[in-house]
């Protein structure tokens, strides 16, 4: 099953860098929404997650499933992605 990965980040967030590094090492492609560069998308993230903290990672399956990981929980992300 194909999965789309979107991560909401900011420039100064060490956890955001760690999640992106994890994805890069596991060769997982992702779309990054950097809230420092796209501040108009902040509310979108808040509506999805209920908070202002980053990183927020959304994994969407082609079957309509969706999961959210808040923070740098690489064990959960690995499980969700099967990597």
Per-residue pLDDT of the chain (83 residues; tens, 9 = 90+): 679 999 999 999 999 999 999 999 999 999 999 999 999 999 999 999 999 999 999 999 888 889 999 999 999 999 999 88
Nearest one of 32, 40, 43 to 10, comparing CA atoms: 32
- Structural domains present in the chain: 3-72 (3.40.30.10)
Q: How far are the Cα atoms of 3, 57, 71, 80, 81 from residue 74, in angstroms, in the given order?
A: 16, 11, 9, 10, 10
């Amino acid at each position: 099953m194909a999965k789309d990965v979107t991560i909401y980040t900011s420039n100064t967030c060490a956890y955001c860098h760690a999640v992106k590094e994890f994805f890069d090492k596991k060769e997982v492609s992702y779309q990054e929404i950097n809230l420092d560069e796209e501040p108009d998308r902040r509310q979108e993230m808040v509506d999805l997650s209920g908070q202002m903290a980053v990183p927020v990672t959304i994994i969407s399956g082609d079957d309509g499933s969706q999961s959210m990981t808040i923070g740098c929980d690489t064990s959960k992300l690995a499980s969700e992605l099967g990597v």
